[in-house]
Amino acid sequence: MTKQVNIAILGFGTVGSGVYQVLTEGKESIKHRELVNIDVRRILVRDLVTERNIGLAPIETFATDFADIINDPEISIVVECMGGTVPAKDYILGALAAGKTVVTSNKEVLAKHWPEFERQAKATGAGLYFEATAGGGVPIIRTLLDSMQGNNITHLMGIVNGTTNYILTKMADEGRPYAEVLAEAQKLGYAEANPSADVDGWDSVYKLSILASIAFHARVNIDDIYREGISLVSAEDIAVAKKLGYTIKLLAIGKKMNNNLEVRVHPTMLHNSHPLANVSGVFNGIFLTGDAVDDIMLYGRGAGKLPTASAIVSDIIYASNVAEHRYMTFVNEFDAPQWLVHQKDWLSGYFIRLTASDELGSLSKIAGVLGDSGVSVHSVMQFNENAHKNTAELVFITDTARELSVQSALARLRALSCVISVDSVMRVEE
């Protein structure tokens, strides 16, 4: 027997209109396959005059007052596609308080207010679904919740931001500088006019908070995630990485060993043999390691109108067909659980590029500082030599070392008279 489900969509921009398109064009096939007849009863917009997509749906579907949605008893699912935290947070809480299930693609509001949302959902028995928050069209959350329950996840590593991946791919393929490629990405619509959320790593932090919480069965607050963006990645870094057989990616990394957890977002040198090294352009890739399944990787479009809509519609159908909504089984509070130790002194390989005086003894002094700091050098290369300036560019790849040991070594290197500048430091994952 086919079930009737009426929904409301909050926001009718790229994502909201994409959800409407998928539900409208796929209405009959969804009904046939899933035995659910989904009707969009209301679409909330700020006003009818400036709404650019007003012609895509019947005018009587649109509303400008959230109360029209909350007070409609026939609407059972509210789909939030507005982005940001205001007014999205209040609308989500209002819908949940009214007993309406919420499906959202808004990673920022979920990462910041998830515990509050879940408490409200539990209080009324409403559902809270968010597949589209962490991987766009890549079904990573459903994989973690419904396919890997028999595993303890030990590693999570992913390219979860298409904008930064596009920029780094273009820089690598064409040898162009960061600022030039960023401007192109903005012109093409891959980057916002204010690109900070993407290029400074915030978007990846929100997504890692959600994914790591599920994967490691403990609430991971965004404040506990180390963050670096890509603005300091230079064309020289990428050129040297290519010569060494590496690719530079902005990675969201989570690792858990016993009760020790490390969560970090930063540019990373990946060996070209790693599957994530071949994820290019605006695509996303998420690499997981479970104690039973070992390594798996999910790959696909992490953003865009229809890929994101695909994940949202999947959640709508899933929510429509469950007899009882499920919630997280870990303690979902704002503060990290007391048993969890957030490791700041993690282990990693490191890439260090510096400019030194081209004089006898410089290399041994630099290597000596690294060794005295507990940082073992795996390899060292001299990439250029300028007789006029009497300088040399030295590149060190370290063995696995502690983060704090490397930072201590860097401070001492900068104080050496033979070191003119430390030009780049990047973590290395094999």
Radius of gyration of the chain (CA): 24
**Is the separation of the CB atoms in 207 and 252 below 8 Å?**
yes
Give the DSSP letter of residue 336. Answer: P
Q: Is the pTM of this model over 0.85?
A: yes
Q: Which long-range contacts (CB under 8 A, 24 or more apart) does 74-77 make?
A: 74/6, 74/41, 75/6, 75/7, 75/8, 75/41, 75/42, 75/100, 76/5, 76/6, 76/7, 76/100, 76/101, 77/5, 77/6, 77/7, 77/8, 77/101, 77/102, 77/103, 77/127, 77/316, 77/319, 77/320
Q: Annotated catalytic, 207?
A: yes
Q: ω into residue 307 within 30 of 0, thus cis?
A: no
CA distances in angstroms from 418 to 351, 360, 376, listed in the order given: 19, 10, 20
Phi first, then psi, for residue 24 (nearest 5°) are -75, -50
> Which among 244, 229, 230, 228 has a CA at the least distance from the CA of 398?
244
Residue found under tokens 């209301």: 42
Taking the CB of residue 50, how many other CB atoms lie within 10 A of it?
8
Tens of pLDDT along the chain (430 residues)? 899 999 999 999 999 999 999 999 999 999 999 999 999 999 999 999 999 999 999 999 999 999 999 999 999 999 999 999 999 999 999 999 999 999 999 999 999 999 999 999 999 999 999 999 999 999 999 999 999 999 999 999 999 999 999 999 999 999 999 999 999 999 988 899 999 999 999 999 999 999 999 999 999 999 999 999 999 999 999 999 999 999 999 999 999 999 999 999 999 999 999 999 999 999 999 999 999 999 999 999 988 899 999 999 999 999 999 999 999 999 999 887 888 889 999 999 999 999 999 888 999 999 999 999 999 999 999 976 555 578 999 999 999 999 999 999 999 999 999 999 999 999 999 8
What domains are there in the chain, each with its CATH number?
3-135 (3.40.50.720), 140-301 (3.30.360.10), 347-429 (3.30.70.260)
Measured N-to-C along each axis, helices 107-124 and 88-97 cross at an angle, to the nearest 10 degrees, of 20
CA distances in angstroms from 315 to 102, 171, 215, 321, listed in the order given: 9, 36, 19, 10
Residue 386: the pLDDT is 55
Spatial separation of the C-alpha atoms in residues 185 and 178, rounded to whole Å: 10
- Helical residues (DSSP H) of 231-356, grouped into ranges: 235-244, 305-321
Spatial separation of the C-alpha atoms in residues 330 and 337, rounded to whole Å: 10
Spatial separation of the C-alpha atoms in residues 141 and 163, rounded to whole Å: 21
**Is the separation of the CB atoms in 375 and 409 below 8 Å?**
yes
List residues bridging with 195 in a β-sheet.
none
Residue 387: the pLDDT is 52
Q: Which of 89, 170, 207, 256 is catalytic?
A: 207
Q: What is the DSSP string of 50-65?
A: T-TTGGGS-GGGEES-
